[in-house]
Amino acid sequence: MNLDYNGKKPQTSKNKYFWQSLRHAIAGLFAAFKTEANLRRDIWLALIVVGLGIYYQLTYLEWLAIILAIFIVLMAEFWNTVIEYLVDLLVDHQFHPLAKQIKDISAASVLISAILALLIGIIVFGHAIFN
Ligand SMILES: Nc1ncnc2c1ncn2[C@@H]1O[C@H](COP(=O)(O)OP(=O)(O)OP(=O)(O)O)[C@@H](O)[C@H]1O
């Protein structure tokens, strides 16, 4: 994680303007993509799924289901990353049974979202391929 602020005083007060909130949210997006290999893998998978969707000419409702599935998985990955950082901040990488439980349950939420995406993918592409 890059914690170098180029000598500037880091901001710890609330954002005052929308563009400030947006800039920090985009910085968070880049930070997550830079550090999380799982997130980068999910983006590649999502791009492949979108390519297949274009190839099989999915309907309006099928696209809706696929887009929802992709964003639910990404949201779960982002929250999992947040929880991992929070736990590391709290226990400073020391072993703690509760830290393990929190991280494992958080990882389980990603697994559940991935199962949902897989089911949606099977239903949508199964229908598109065999009909
Ligand atoms: N402080 C800790 N105390 C106890 N167990 C921990 C601790 N930190 C990590 N673990 C265990 O190691 C696993 C991996 O932790 P880590 O923070 O590296 O997640 P990760 O490999 O980035 O997970 P993911 O694959 O979901 O991104 C956790 O699921 C947990 O079982």
Distance CA 3, CA 27 (A): 13
pLDDT single digits (tens) 28-86: 999 999 999 999 999 999 999 999 999 999 999 999 999 999 999 999 999 999 999 99
Neighbours of 125 (CB within 10 A): 17
* pTM of the entire predicted model: 0.86
Pocket test for ligand 1, best of 103, 105, 106, 110 (most atoms within 8 A of CB): 103
Residue ranges in 36-59 assigned as alpha helix (H): 37-55
Cα(120) to centroid(ligand 1), Å: 28
In order of their start, the domains of the chain are: 36-130 (1.10.287.3610)
Q: What is the ipTM of this complex?
A: 0.90
Residues with CB under 6 A from ligand 1: 38, 80, 84, 91, 93-96, 99-100, 103-104, 107
Percent of the chain as helix, strand, coil, to the nearest 5: 80, 0, 20
The distance from CA 43 to its chain's CA centroid, rounded to whole angstroms, is 9
Of 53, 51, 41, give the one whose Cα is nearest residue 120: 53
Cα(60) to centroid(ligand 1), Å: 39
